[in-house]
Chain A
Amino acid sequence: MKRSSVSSRLMLGAVIYLVILGAAAIAAPVISPYSPTDQHLENRFAPPGHKYILGTDNFGRDNFSRMIYGSRSALLVGIVSVSIAVTIGITVGIIAALSTGIIDNILMLLMDSVLSFPTILLAITVVSFLGYGLLQVMTAIGVIFSPVFARLVRAEALSIKTEEYVEASRAMGSPAVKIVFLHIMPNLMGKVVVQASITFALSIVIEASLSYLGLGTQPPTPSWGLMLKDARNYLVQAPWMSIYPGLALAMTVLSFNIIGDTLSEKINPRIVKK
């Protein structure tokens, strides 16, 4: 009882935070007090206060406005890369689960080999081939995370395939395509959503990391990772430059993880609801 109320409060908090974040990202031009790229050189390193709520950076740019605009790239990366990963993952996973033998083996070997590289390292490699920039980063992250979904979908599809209701549907004359879309896909979506939520958080972290390394979002476009990169040299002098973007990043990742965990508890039949 107690446990579930704590987790549902956390869930509520996470959802509220993300809704606010999403709204801020959409309404960025309206709510941000300054342009994220305007340099107020006379007000460099201004501490948080009246004029600049969260202070300014080394070029005198408003920290708050940059964070709001930075949420745009963070969420965009999450949405696009997770979509790419889910699309590739479901397609490959279902094909692998329905075909037997050699096709299954080849597909899974391919997926496993992608999975065997350290994520950041592979992301850096892919980005250095595709070139720097947000679009390249999103594609790279999407491709890199697709094996996670492919494995998940394949395993789920293999087990759903043997469910009695699939047999019943076949006995009623349903063609294979119908069975995939009507019976297999809907019943594995729950697990996919949980995984997507966690992957969303991971892809935001990777985008931030790549931007921090100078491979992701290119200046002067605002991004949390880029802000942290700029803040690196002024940790003592202007701590607000690193604390706020770092906090936003951590909260976002935490929220997605909380949502993922709560959902996975909710849909897992083995955890008995009290």
Chain B
Amino acid sequence: MGEGEILLHIQDLDITFEPGAHAVRFLELDIRKSEIHGLVGESGSGKSVTSTAVIGLLPSPPAKISSGKIIFKGRDLLKLGKEEMRKIRGREIAMVFQEPSKYFNPSMKVGEQIREMLSLHFGMSRKSAVERVLELFNLTGLGKSNFGGGRRILNSYPHELSGGMKQRAMIAMGIACSPSLLIADEPTTALDVTLQMQILDLIHDLQNRLKMSILFISHDLNVVKHIANRVSVIYAGKIVESAAKGTIFKNPMHPYTKLLLLSIPDPEKRGTPLKTIPGTVPDAESIPSGCAFHTRCPYVRKICEKEIPALKEYENGHTTACHFAGETE
């Protein structure tokens, strides 16, 4: 993967929740134009908090962004006014959520909800907005006759659609205004496995056609392996490793990434016990000193307990935050 122009640059982002929970700690993340960037981490590692901060919808209080910058197309999103930020949401940065059934208003037709966005951001007339929605349905595979055609979906209420159809509709809504960044927050987690693949392929295909960037959040390394160009691993609110997909899966540098990769079930190793990482993700209220992973790291040394390792570049485009990156084997 070549070095593209940076679309979203998150720098030193630090988010705390009252009282005293440190959800995101000096996080650094770059998303380039036209890449699918996988953000992987366990539950509670700060993935969703980060994405919510990007679209400016963190509830504050209790959340507080104490420092950092979120530079999107040259503007710091954290410095924008409410109204400016509102115009960016949905138009420039859109979101696809985890459970499609909950993210549609049950008393409104699906087509209406998507059409609403178009008239909101583009002031489209009813007729042309409907045309655009049908076009979006075709793009997301909802126009197919086995779904009863786009017109039927247009006039359906959410409960009349299956989970997969709803997720397709949700994606249609996400790309409705041709955003430059689509944040997909575990878009396949609530779906069954066969559907997961279909939706992943759809996202991949749409990215190819529309050339937008996608921040793909997941806790599932297999899913990310399937779809992302670039992968960042987050642990306790901090990026610990970030690299192109090929690099990170072949040559992981951070012990956490290594252990994560080892804990993916592999059909060739049938019969041998699956490796697990001992311990649990630290609570955001009591993050260990120094390197947050030192409590679970098999290579832990004295310095790890005291100093927070900085995110450093080791080879071209491969950054990691470990004192002994490259030394541990």
Contacts and interface: CB of A to CB of B under 8 A. Distances in A.
Nearest to A187: B107
Given A164-B99, A182-B116, A170 B89 contact: yes
Contact of B57 (A164, A171, A187): A171
B264 interface: no
A163 interface: yes
Nearest to A168: B103
B117 A173 contact: yes
Contact of A182 (B57, B87, B91, B105): B105
Interface string A180-197: 001100110000000000
B102 interface: yes
The B contact surface, by secondary structure, is loop
B57 A167 contact: yes
A187 B106 contact: yes
Given A164-B99, A186-B107, A174 B57 contact: no
Interface in A142-175: 163-165, 167-175
Interface-centre pick from A167, A168, A170, A178 (highest chain B CB count, 10 A) = A168
Interface-centre pick from A164, A170, A173 (highest chain B CB count, 10 A) = A173
Nearest to B104: A165
Place the interface of chain A in its size category: 10 to 19
Nearest to B116: A182
Contacts of B106: 165, 187
A172 B117 contact: yes
A178 B120 contact: yes
A50 to B, nearest CB: 54
Nearest to A189: B107
A171 B121 CA distance: 13
The A contact surface, by secondary structure, is helix
B114 to A, nearest CB: 9
Interface in B177-203: none
Contacts of B95: 168, 171-172
B173 interface: yes
A162 to B, nearest CB: 10
Place the interface of chain B in its size category: 20 to 34
B57 A170 contact: yes
B173 A163 contact: no
Interface in B83-133: 86-91, 94-95, 97, 99, 102-108, 116-117, 120-121
Nearest to A169: B105
A178 B94 CA distance: 18
B55 interface: yes
Interface in A115-165: 163-165
A168 B114 CA distance: 11
Contacts of B103: 164-165, 167-168
A163 B158 CA distance: 15
A97 to B, nearest CB: 15
Nearest to B185: A171
A175 B86 contact: yes
Contact of B108 (A171, A175, A182): A182
B120 A173 contact: yes
Given A172-B173, A174-B116, A165 B102 contact: yes
A8 B91 CA distance: 48
B107 A172 contact: no
14 contacts: A164-B97, A164-B102, A164-B103, A165-B106, A167-B57, A170-B89, A172-B94, A173-B87, A173-B121, A174-B116, A175-B86, A183-B108, A186-B105, A187-B105
Interface of B: 55, 57, 86-91, 94-95, 97, 99, 102-108, 116-117, 120-121, 173
Q: Which 3 A-B pairs have the closest CB atoms?
A: A173-B90, A172-B90, A173-B89
Given A168-B95, A172-B95, A173-B91, 20 more contacts: A163-B102, A164-B102, A164-B103, A165-B102, A165-B103, A165-B104, A167-B57, A170-B57, A171-B89, A172-B117, A172-B173, A173-B87, A173-B88, A174-B116, A174-B117, A178-B116, A178-B120, A183-B105, A187-B105, A187-B106
